[in-house]
Structure 1
Amino acid sequence: MSHPASTAGDQPTTHTPTGLIAFAWALVGVPLAYGLYNTIKAASALFG
């Protein structure tokens, strides 16, 4: 007995608030940008 492949229409749609998405990106992006900045600054001191 086989089941037909599920499509996107079978799943209920969910809505994630835009503010929550922006907060999550900031929570990850700010420390990442800070770490990259410090890495590039340290590398330029070594090679510059």
Structure 2
Amino acid sequence: MTAVVCDLDGVVYLGDEAVPGAGQALAALTAAGHRLLFCTNNSSRTRA
């Protein structure tokens, strides 16, 4: 198993919209057995 670290803002979503194809790409990585890890430095959204 390998892990893929992925940024969120601009890679998975942009503003309030999903980036086209991001969901399919993440699903393909998961289906191939990769563990997904997400990180971001976007401070415009809180965890709450």
Task: Report the structure, 1 or 2, having the larger strand content.
Answer: 2
Task: Report the structure, 1 or 2, having the larger helix content.
Answer: 1
Higher relative contact order (CA 8 A, sep 6+): 2
TM-score between both structures, scaled by the size of structure 2: 0.31
TM-score between both structures, scaled by the size of structure 1: 0.31
Larger gyration radius, structure 1 or structure 2: 1
